[in-house]
Amino acid sequence: MTLNVALIQMDIAYGNPQVNGEKVKTKVGQAATNEADVVVLPELWTTGYDLQRLDTIADTEGRDSLDLLADLAKAYNVHVVGGSIANQSEKQPLEVKNTMLVVNAAGEKVKAYSKAHLFRLMDEEKYLVEGNENGWFSLAGVPSAGLICYDIRFPEWVRMHALGEMKVLYVVAEWPKPRIDHWRALLISRAIENQCYVVACNRVGADPNNTFGGHSIVVGPWGEILAEAGEEETILYSEIDIDQVDKVRTTIPIFSDRRSELY
Ligand SMILES: NC(=O)CCC(=O)C(=O)O
């Protein structure tokens, strides 16, 4: 079975959910017109890293974002890995999480995963609360998982998802340009060591504190780069053949060769 994935590598208007929502509507429509089955958005696409104003711009219980994503999914008959959003709780204590929303083509919510590892270099721990749940979901009948940016630096977190038979890892990010070599190396490594597809969508552009490096990428289970963007706004397309995952896992059976009694 194959899936056409489309990664929306976009600039994000700082602290402006309205403008970003309009852009996402246009881009998801374009991707669907180009036969995408799954559309992927970047991290914090509603607000960017405008963390100091989250009390006014975060989305309460992710409702507005979920409505928008569900409407788009239904209108265009596409699955949407909805990047992540600043997701504010309704009840006290008011907490904001960095939450990925996944919606299937019927417009049903499939997953809400909140970033488990907060990134201190961008002050996340001062404004956000970490998630404590896993990122597994099934999309288009494929066992998948979603993780958010800094999460990929924790190979044991990714491996835990692979042990749950994840075949596609979706990664959404706002990864700064100065560390884009880490981004590429980490994603290729996570694909090789877990023998899965990695479909990773980064943003471009700049905010008052960082310039973001793009290079959204699709990596196959053998570690091959199937598609990679540059540093400009674009939609990156790739066809992924899910059967390749089992072929690679049979050729080099790392999951049955693991010495779990040693580690
Ligand atoms: N938004 C993030 O989690 C950024 C992570 C990052 O830049 C890194 O180097 O790790």
What ipTM was assigned to the predicted interfaces of this complex?
A: 0.99
pLDDT at 37: 98
H/E run at residue 247: helix 243-251
Judge whether 221 and 244 are in contact, CB under 8 Å.
Answer: yes
- For 129-137, what is the mean pLDDT? 98
Which residue minimizes the CA distance to atom 3 of ligand 1? Answer: 150
**Average of pLDDT values for 94-99?**
96
Distance CA 260, CA 247 (A): 23
Residue from 88, 109, 105, 107 nearest 97 by CA? 88
Q: In a 3-state reduction of DSSP, which class is residue 72? A: helix
Residues marked active site are found at 43, 115, 149
Distance between CA 62 and CA 68 in Å, rounded?
10
pLDDT in tens, 186-231: 999 999 999 999 999 999 999 999 999 999 999 999 999 999 999 9
Q: Any bridge partners for residue 218, and if so which?
A: 199, 227
C-alpha–C-alpha distance, residues 249 and 90, integer Å? 44
> Is there an atom of ligand 1 within 6 Å of 120 CB?
no
Q: 258-263, long-range: CB within 8 Å, 24+ apart, which pairs?
A: none
Whether residue 257 is predicted with pLDDT greater than 90 in this model: the reply is yes
Which atom in ligand 1 lies closest to the alpha carbon of residue 176?
Answer: 7
Query: Are the C-beta atoms of residues 207 and 244 closer than 8 Å to each other?
Result: no
pLDDT of residue 72: 98
CATH class as words, domain 2-257: alpha beta
Q: Delimit the domains of the chain by residue range.
A: 2-257
This prediction has a pTM of: 0.98
Mean pLDDT, residues 109-115? 98
CB of residue 179 inside a 6 A radius of ligand 1: yes
Torsion angle, CA of 101/104/108/111, rounded to 10 degrees? -30
Query: In this structure, which residue's CA is closest to atom 9 in ligand 1?
Result: 179
Tell me the CA distances in angstroms from 31 to 44, 79, 108, 237, one per residue in order: 20, 11, 19, 8
User: What residue type is assigned to position 244 of the chain?
Assistant: Q
Nearest CA, atom 7, ligand 1: 175
Give the chain's count of helices (H) and strands (E).
Answer: 8, 16
Report pLDDT digits (tens) over 77-93: 999 999 999 999 998 88
Which ligand 1 atom is at minimum distance from the Cα of 43? 1
Asked whether 36 and 227 are in contact (CB, 8 A), the reply is no
Phi, psi of 234 (to 5 degrees): -165, 170
Q: Look at residue 238 in the predicted model and tell me its pLDDT.
A: 98
